[in-house]
Amino acid sequence: MQRILMVGKPNSGKSLLFNQLTGLRQKVANYPGVTVEVKRGQCQDFEVVDLPGTYTLRGLSRDEEIAIKEITASVERDDTSLVVCVLDATRLERSLVLGLQVQKLAKANNKAVLFALNFIDEVRRIGEDIDTEALSKELGSPVMALSARTLDGLHEFKQTMLSVAKAPSGHIPTTSLSEGESAVNQSQALASKYGLHLDVVLKNQNSVDRFLLNSWTGSLVFLGVMFVLFQSIFTLAAPLMDGVETLIGSAAEGVSAITPEGIVTDFFNDAIFGGLGSFLVFVPQIMVLTFIIGLLEDSGYLARAALMCHRPLSAVGLSGRSFIPYLSGHACAIPAIMAARTIESPHKRLITMLTIPLMSCSARLPVYALLVAVLVPEDGTFLGIFGLQGAAFFGLYFFGIITALIVSQFLTRFLPKDLEESDMPFILELPTYRLPHWKPLTFRVIDSGMQFIRRAAPIIFVVSVGIWILGYFPMGSTLEDSWLGQIGHVIQPVFEPMGLDWRYGVAILMSFLAREVFVGALGTLFGMDGAEDNVNGLAERIQADGLTTGAGLGLVLFYVVALQCVATVAMLKGETGSNKLAWGLYVGYGILAYVIAVLVNMLF
């Protein structure tokens, strides 16, 4: 199958155009370095390849070096029929630098080139336009205006793209531009001639930036946005969580009605609905978190937040670019560690990767939600306006961030100093403010929930069934006298300083496979005697069991700090190339979390 390559700088709308052409559900984010993998899809008889975004073919960051290597190798392949260069119509000069370099590379390899002039809707909205016919003549390759967001010109572009790909020999670049002149000078000349002369978009952007990037107003907006983000995890997700709880309860009643009493009914009620079901109710919270972060990404605010965070982050040895992996880490540490590749400085990149596990990822959400429900009244308010549970959520996330900054300062002092010699300056493009596109954002939200279920459900199922077996046998015995109780009593002395008994010790050990297993484990343990299979019932059972405030607070802070994810350790090993460093971090965070939990239990 012949291939069509798609290249372009970050924020050019390349990934969204790829989505529209192939129908695949690809992530579209509005900050540099998000496309760090090669994406593939099919458009009729051709394979469309979405290559990583880069600004030029002379990269500075590791991410750009990977992108350039992939672009060069892909253009040189015999099965490549067409190279599509995506240009940002609102920032023609910056887009043409890469476009001219790729066109020259394609011409050297006898490959056809087609320029996609994206965001033409924004140009026309301010009463401007671009002469694509004249620009095509100067470039020596066809230029087509379109909008991947509004679909303006997309059908015509798709037909032309397929037509050129089927007969590429007739569309080899015939540029008359000076071969000796640099791509930067050529792009400046072309943008001056054909680009926007009245840059209203930039003027409007600057007026908004003066407010959002101001030291005082910008800081207040940033804190407000972050607070609303974590507050919404409870308020927006609550109705959905109630619906899931009702559905699980109805399913449990239906299964109990058709199964014989005894071991079969006990297995379904306690192992399946009590363990696995108590984890599923938290999926809506993960989807809400993904939705809000998606809004920040696609609107362009995320890049501004990274710029605002540069100064405070640099004080602890980090970069403003560290903010993006940090925020991504609140969804999952694995892609966040990969996102750290965009940090040019090896020193700051390593520190960022080592502290990302302290960001409260989505796997911690079930643990937080359960323990916050146990410790904080549901009807309590903060300042008489905000829900007290939402404020507690914000406090937990804030504690993780502060801990990460303290650890970053510590690592800055003790990491090898030779890494600092290759530090690069902080450079970040501020993308145009845009309304998020609903289709990819909706797909992203749904996929976040499905991926979480696919990743966590098998582990939680195995652990829940295993705990149920250990707790059910020998048959006729009490839970404390079961096999599970015997194991718990052996390890109980380790957890007694935290104010926890053997059941919590077993759940903590089980959660080292994945943090969210903790809820499933407690759901099974406390559900053995017929407890309700929903979060409220489990929280009430824990409260009735007598969990103290100090022990509960210490336990939730333990989960803020502890690195209880084998997949994250594996990713750290792969990115750092050091098995010793990855597992050393695992042990170090575990000890720190244990000490914090013990101290909190002693103080409260």
Residue 37 is predicted with a pLDDT of: 65
Mean pLDDT of 33-58: 78
CA contacts within 13 A on the Cβ side of 434: 27
Residue 181 pLDDT class (50, 70, 90 cuts): low
pLDDT score recorded for residue 356: 92
**Residue with more model confidence, 92 or 175:** 92
Geometric angle at alpha carbon 128, from 122 and 133, rounded to 5°: 100
Per-residue DSSP letter, 300: T
Q: What is the DSSP letter of 46?
A: E
Mean pLDDT, residues 490-516: 84
Secondary structure E strands in 99-250:
112-118, 143-145
Delimit the domains of the chain by residue range.
3-202
pLDDT at residue 33 greater than cutoff 50: no
Residue 565: band (very low, low, confident or very high) from pLDDT cuts 50, 70, 90 = confident
How does residue 312 score in pLDDT terms, banded at 50, 70 and 90?
confident
* Cβ-count burial 162-177 (b if 16+ within 10 Å, e if not): bebbeebeebebebeb
Mean pLDDT, the chain, integer? 80
Q: What is the pLDDT of residue 495?
A: 92
Q: How confident is the model at residue 424 (pLDDT cuts 50, 70, 90)?
A: low
Better pLDDT: 498 or 542: 498
Q: Which residue has the tokens 């582990």?
A: 459
Question: Cα 260 vs. chain centroid, distance in angstroms?
Answer: 45
pLDDT band at 170 (very low <50, low <70, confident <90, very high): confident
Residue 454 has pLDDT above 60, yes or no: yes
Instruction: Select the highest-mean-pLDDT range: 109-123, 205-219, 318-332, 573-587.
Output: 109-123
Q: Which helix (H) or strand (E) holds 88?
A: strand 80-88
- Quick one: pLDDT at residue 486? 86
Residue 94: phi, psi to the nearest 5?
-65, -35
Confidence of residue 180 (pLDDT cuts 50, 70, 90): low
200-212 and 301-314 helices cross at what angle (nearest 10)? 40
Read off φ and ψ for residue 511, nearest 5 degrees: -75, -5
Task: State the average pLDDT over residues 126-137.
Answer: 88
**pLDDT tens-place string over residues 467-482:** 778 877 887 666 567 7
Give the per-residue pLDDT at 34. Answer: 44
**3-202 CATH, one of 3.40.50.300, 3.30.70.100, 3.30.450.40, 3.40.50.10440:** 3.40.50.300
pLDDT of residue 421: 46
* CA–CA separation, 344 and 60 (whole Å): 7
Q: Reply yes or no on whether the pLDDT at 222 is more than 80.
A: yes
Say yes or no to pLDDT of 281 above 60. yes
**How long is the chain?**
604
pLDDT > 70? residue 204: no
Phi, psi angle pair for 331, to nearest 5°: -95, -55
Q: Identify the weakest region by mean pLDDT among 69-83, 194-208, 399-413, 548-562.
A: 194-208
pLDDT (average), residues 175-194: 76
